[in-house]
């Protein structure tokens, strides 16, 4: 009814405005009346219970495809069965004279026609017994990415004579098409996307205007985030089968019986509001029916469950818990993943009407998108672009990405309970050169190397999902990716390892991650221009040492005494733990800042986004998001060792006998998986396996990263430190006076990962010592051991031979870091110097005095050393 009156009010205003224009025109230029060349009716059909009211929306376009305002006339082929108002409201029966009250007149089918001039559009209306329940037919198997689904559902009536909840009547044949939707459109969505073919009739896909462009003729701007807005909203109709929308509990209310509270800020919706009546002083009855005052928009495919209480005629505060459902007749989804480029025709100019080049059709839309966001292409772009596009002709639901979701059926405003559905998960990922099987590359700065991933799902089908690619050392090379392809860009001297992972939220959604079976190694020529950062637990100063000149730079003042140091593989940031005053972050541009928690820094992700800190004082471990500068999560216990997966998504920590997995969601803690006391943890370079040492139990335990399950136990002597070899062949571990080399076959299968590892021990010929640090070289040629004695051990992984390297002056090594080109190891020592050990000579070639002082101006030993890629 509100829609009808609003339509009449708008029509009246338009009429008045038109009369004013006519009376004021005099002898002026004649205004050309728009003419419709096409009309689109939304939705494509209506399913109505007897006496129920629905609506059609008609959009008229001219010959160029532009939306025009024209006079529209609605009519019905059977007004007694399905009457239609002048505003497009449809009654499952007949309207009264004011098109307000809808009276049922039986079941059947009618056709609604909307006309403007000689142009018309039609849509069927199905009138039927009340739909009380919709049940989905279960799926028997997963479907491969890209497959069109064929979901089915049954509509039941339980209230008509002869029908009951225990003996429902199947009315599916009378209700017309059942609409199907997905709880996660990344996994399953409408198959419709942007039409990549230029259409001269609609002059689309084309750019029409908008945005701010900086660039020159011949350059291009990228357009992405194609959108048609959100049409779903809060369902204003009470549904007894779901008892929805209803108020459940929550909030603090001040008021009396009969007053109302307003609920807004429904999660997942924009602009949705509702009222709920107080049944007593300060009381909203649990299960009270909401009065929806605005359905809002957005919402996607997940119904909102919470809302914020605010002032109505009562005084309200707090957050309400509600049960709600979404509108099912006006759902509009944007194009997901659609991308296009548009050429600049002059400096800072994109000509209106320029044809778009569609680079990715995307999916998920049910109406053509009309806007897109400009981003950086070869030009610098910003702002929002206005585009005219059409959809491809593919209809129905399509398996979009590996993962799990629920499929819903909906008809006549009733949703089914979701039935589980899985797009077949990724089972193997093999990455290599785009034109050969090569996995090792030598590049020079500025050169690129194209990669491709061979991806198989659980049915053995070859697919191209949205993988997460990563570079272990972005100081050496960055990676740009698109689904199952990527390109390495050599940025500086050094070695990097490239991996690919199928991981939620874009791949294997709701399922365990799948890591690549192998890695790609890229070696960029030249000498690393890195900087060595040297600090001391006894000093409030940190100094940089240039690797190119081996000179000490300007001292950096620290606010707290550090207890640990780790440099970000992504460059720019050095993290220093602290027992008090907060963990410190030194940024090469902005200087030193502190975080709101203490502890030792144990691990940083390859992309520099995740930082894991263990605080023994608070008996708490923290996972910090450096990209968003927020604390992701914390969990009880003091971690003694940690590692972060190469996709920068998850951390694994050793806390007592427990293995704790944490990431962007609540941490998953496994308490009974390890029957031993662990010492150290690290990962296979691909990320799929974890190696955990236990000196007390004389073993190295191999576990599947995706679910922390036990894969294999290797017998050892007294293993302590363990590190994955960067080339993905396995790991190395310090085992008393020997080096254990662990060789691992390429991992295979879905979660849990399957692989076989063998262990070979080699005498280090260095006598008794304790290992303080184990550093595999980035090129996987050597493994360095910093000991508590006056020497460093270099272990050659090609011939499994050790070399003992004495430190000048009999100094004892404390902490060290390796340059990105693997040519030099810098070791802070007890003599107050930093010792530079060269791979070329396997000798201590230089001793550098960092000049660190303690509070009494005495020399402070450099027991904290890290190398930051530049």
Position 241 confidence tier, pLDDT thresholds 50, 70, 90: low
**Strand residue runs (E) in 667-763:** 668-670, 680-683, 689-694, 699-704, 710-715, 719-724, 730-735, 738-744, 757-763
Position 332 confidence tier, pLDDT thresholds 50, 70, 90: low
Q: Which of 262, 255, 261, 263 is nearest to 280 (CA)?
A: 255
User: If you average pLDDT over each of 20-24, 385-389, 523-527, 774-778, which comes out highest?
Assistant: 774-778
Mean pLDDT of 572-576: 96
Position 26 confidence tier, pLDDT thresholds 50, 70, 90: very low
Per-residue confidence (pLDDT) for residue 580, from 0 to 100 = 97
Peptide bond into 245 cis (omega under 30): yes
Least confident of 124-138, 323-337, 458-472: 323-337
- 700, 704, 708, 713 alpha-carbon torsion, rounded to 10°: -30
Mean pLDDT of 781-786: 98
pLDDT digits (tens, 9 = 90+) for 848-869: 999 999 999 999 999 999 999 9
Q: In the beta sheet, which residues pair with residue 411?
A: 414
Assess contact for 584 and 565: CB atoms under 8 A.
no
Mean residue pLDDT of the chain comes to 89
Least confident of 17-26, 328-337, 398-407: 17-26
Per DSSP, 729 falls in state S
Q: Which of 165, 140, 215, 196 is nearest to 376 (CA)?
A: 215
What three-state secondary structure class fits 11? helix
Mean pLDDT of 819-848: 97
- Using CA atoms, how far residue 206 sits from 367, 378, 741, in Å, is 16, 19, 59
Over 90: is that where the pLDDT of 76 sits? yes
Per-residue confidence (pLDDT) for residue 331, from 0 to 100 = 47
CA 8/CA 420 separation, integer angstroms: 45
Over 60: is that where the pLDDT of 72 sits? yes
pLDDT digits (tens, 9 = 90+) for 547-572: 999 999 999 999 999 999 999 999 89
Residue 766's Cβ-side half-sphere holds a number of Cα atoms within 13 Å equal to 28
Mean pLDDT of 716-743: 98
Q: Topology of 36-128 in CATH?
A: Immunoglobulin-like (2.60.40)
User: If you average pLDDT over each of 194-208, 413-427, 664-678, 725-739, which comes out highest?
Assistant: 725-739
Over 60: is that where the pLDDT of 18 sits? no
CA 493/CA 479 separation, integer angstroms: 15
CA 249/CA 271 separation, integer angstroms: 21
Position 63 confidence tier, pLDDT thresholds 50, 70, 90: confident
Per-residue confidence (pLDDT) for residue 554, from 0 to 100 = 97
Over 50: is that where the pLDDT of 19 sits? no
- pTM here? 0.81
Q: Does the domain made of 132-191+396-424 have the CATH classification 2.60.40?
A: yes
Position 21 confidence tier, pLDDT thresholds 50, 70, 90: very low
Position 28 confidence tier, pLDDT thresholds 50, 70, 90: very low
Mean pLDDT of 841-854: 97
Per-residue confidence (pLDDT) for residue 161, from 0 to 100 = 94
CA 812/CA 198 separation, integer angstroms: 71
Per-residue confidence (pLDDT) for residue 11, from 0 to 100 = 35
Per-residue confidence (pLDDT) for residue 645, from 0 to 100 = 96
Assess contact for 735 and 719: CB atoms under 8 A.
yes
Per-residue confidence (pLDDT) for residue 667, from 0 to 100 = 60
Over 50: is that where the pLDDT of 56 sits? yes
Mean pLDDT of 306-329: 78
- Cβ-based burial of 418 (10 A; exposed 0-12, middle 13-18, buried ≥19): middle
Per-residue confidence (pLDDT) for residue 229, from 0 to 100 = 56
CA 541/CA 187 separation, integer angstroms: 51
Over 80: is that where the pLDDT of 10 sits? no
Position 24 confidence tier, pLDDT thresholds 50, 70, 90: very low
Over 80: is that where the pLDDT of 670 sits? no
CA 450/CA 84 separation, integer angstroms: 59
Assess contact for 174 and 107: CB atoms under 8 A.
yes
Over 70: is that where the pLDDT of 589 sits? yes
Per-residue confidence (pLDDT) for residue 518, from 0 to 100 = 96
Over 80: is that where the pLDDT of 251 sits? no
Per-residue confidence (pLDDT) for residue 298, from 0 to 100 = 63
CA 97/CA 501 separation, integer angstroms: 63
Position 428 confidence tier, pLDDT thresholds 50, 70, 90: very high
Least confident of 240-244, 402-406, 450-454: 240-244
pLDDT digits (tens, 9 = 90+) for 634-649: 989 999 999 999 999 9
Domain borders along the chain are 36-128, 132-191+396-424, 192-230+332-394, 246-323, 425-524
Supply the CATH classification number for the domain 425-524.
2.60.40.1080
Over 50: is that where the pLDDT of 20 sits? no
Position 16 confidence tier, pLDDT thresholds 50, 70, 90: very low
Per-residue confidence (pLDDT) for residue 232, from 0 to 100 = 64
Which of the two residues, 622 and 369, has the higher pLDDT score? Answer: 622
Residue 580 main-chain phi, psi, to 5 deg: -155, 155
Per-residue confidence (pLDDT) for residue 23, from 0 to 100 = 38
């Amino acid at each position: 009814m509100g829609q009808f009156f609003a339509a009449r009010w708008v029509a009246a205003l338009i009429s008045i405005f038109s009369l004013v224009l006519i009376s004021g025109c005099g002898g002026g230029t004649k205004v050309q009346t728009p003419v419709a060349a096409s009309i689109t009716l939304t939705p494509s059909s209506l399913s109505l219970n007897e006496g129920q009211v629905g609506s059609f929306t008609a959009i008229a376009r001219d010959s160029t495809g532009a939306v025009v305002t024209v006079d529209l006339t609605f009519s019905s082929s059977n007004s007694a069965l399905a009457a239609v108002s002048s505003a497009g409201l449809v009654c499952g029966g007949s309207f009264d004279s004011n098109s307000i009250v809808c009276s049922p007149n039986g079941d059947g089918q009618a056709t609604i026609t909307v006309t403007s001039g000689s142009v018309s559009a039609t849509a069927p209306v199905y009138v039927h017994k009340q739909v009380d329940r919709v049940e989905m037919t279960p799926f028997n198997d997963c479907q491969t990415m890209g497959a069109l689904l064929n979901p089915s559902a049954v509509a039941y009536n339980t209230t008509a004579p002869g029908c009951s909840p225990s003996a429902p009547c199947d009315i599916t044949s009378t209700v017309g098409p059942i609409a199907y939707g997905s709880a996660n459109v990344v996994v399953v969505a409408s198959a419709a996307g942007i039409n990549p073919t230029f259409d001269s009739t609609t002059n689309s896909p084309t750019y029409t205007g908008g945005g701010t462009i900086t660039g020159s003729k011949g350059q291009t701007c990228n357009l992405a985030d194609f959108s048609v807005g959100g049409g779903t909203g809060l369902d204003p109709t009470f549904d007894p089968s779901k008892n929805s929308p209803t108020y459940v509990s929550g909030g603090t209310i001040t008021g009396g019986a009969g007053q109302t509270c307003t609920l807004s800020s429904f999660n997942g919706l924009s602009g949705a509001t509702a009222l709920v009546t107080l049944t007593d002083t300060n009381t909203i009855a649990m299960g009270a029916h909401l009065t929806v005052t605005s359905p809002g928009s957005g919402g996607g495919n997940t119904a909102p469950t919470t809302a914020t209480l605010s002032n109505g005629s009562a005084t309200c505060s707090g957050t309400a818990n509600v049960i709600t459902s979404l509108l099912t007749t006006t759902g509009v989804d944007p194009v997901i993943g659609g991308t296009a480029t548009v050429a600049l025709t002059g400096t800072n100019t994109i000509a209106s009407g320029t044809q778009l080049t569609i680079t990715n059709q995307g999916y998920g839309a049910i109406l053509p998108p009309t806007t897109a966001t400009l981003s950086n292409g070869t030009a610098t772009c910003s702002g929002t672009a206005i585009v005219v596009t059409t959809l491809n002709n593919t209809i129905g639901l399509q398996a979009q990405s590996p993962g799990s979701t629920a499929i819903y059926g909906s008809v006549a405003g009733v949703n089914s309970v979701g039935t589980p559905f899985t797009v077949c998960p990724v089972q193997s990922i093999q990455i290599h050169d785009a034109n050969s099987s090569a996995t090792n590359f030598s590049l020079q700065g500025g050169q690129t190397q194209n990669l491709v991933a061979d991806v198989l799902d659980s049915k053995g089908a070859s697919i191209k999902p949205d993988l997460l690619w990563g570079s272990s050392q972005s100081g050496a090379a960055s990676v740009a990716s698109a689904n199952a392809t990527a390109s390495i860009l050599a940025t500086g001297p050094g070695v990097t390892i490239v991996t690919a992972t199928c991981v939620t939220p874009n791949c294997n959604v709701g399922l365990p991650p799948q890591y690549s079976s192998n890695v790609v190694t890229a070696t960029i020529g030249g000498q690393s221009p890195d900087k060595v950062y040297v600090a001391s637990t006894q000093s409030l100063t940190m100094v940089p040492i240039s690797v190119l000149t081996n000179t000490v730079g300007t001292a950096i003042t620290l606010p707290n005494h550090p207890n640990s140091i780790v440099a970000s593989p992504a460059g720019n940031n050095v993290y220093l733990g602290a027992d008090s005053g907060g963990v410190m972050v030194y940024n090469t541009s902005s200087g030193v800042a502190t975080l709101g928690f203490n502890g030792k820094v144990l691990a940083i992700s390859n992309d520099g986004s995740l930082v894991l800190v263990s605080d023994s004082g608070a008996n708490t471990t923290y996972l910090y998001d450096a990209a968003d500068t927020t604390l992701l999560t914390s969990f009880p216990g003091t971690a003694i060792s940690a590692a972060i997966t190469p996709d920068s998504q998850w951390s694994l920590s050793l806390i007592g006998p427990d293995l704790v997995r944490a990431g962007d969601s609540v941490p998953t803690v496994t308490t009974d998986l390890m029957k031993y006391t662990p010492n150290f943890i690290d990962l296979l370079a691909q990320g799929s396996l974890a190696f955990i040492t236990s000196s007390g139990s004389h073993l190295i335990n191999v576990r599947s990263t995706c679910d922390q399950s036990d894969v294999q136990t290797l017998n050892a002597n007294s293993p302590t430190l363990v590190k994955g070899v960067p080339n993905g062949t396995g790991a190395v571990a310090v085992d008393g006076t020997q080096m254990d080399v662990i060789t691992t076959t390429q991992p295979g299968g879905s979660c849990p990962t399957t692989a076989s590892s063998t262990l070979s021990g080699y005498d280090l010929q260095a006598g008794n010592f304790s290992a303080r640090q184990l550093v595999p070289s980035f090129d996987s040629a050597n493994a360095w051991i910093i000991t508590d004695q006056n020497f460093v051990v270099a272990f050659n992984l090609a011939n499994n031979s050790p070399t003992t390297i004495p430190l000048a002056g009999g100094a004892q090594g404390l902490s060290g870091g390796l340059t990105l080109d693997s040519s030099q190891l810098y070791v802070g020592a007890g003599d107050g110097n930093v010792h530079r050990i060269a791979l070329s000579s396997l000798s201590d070639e230089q001793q550098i005095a960092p000049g660190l002082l303690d509070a009494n101006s005495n020399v402070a030993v450099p027991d904290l050393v890290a190398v930051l890629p530049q």
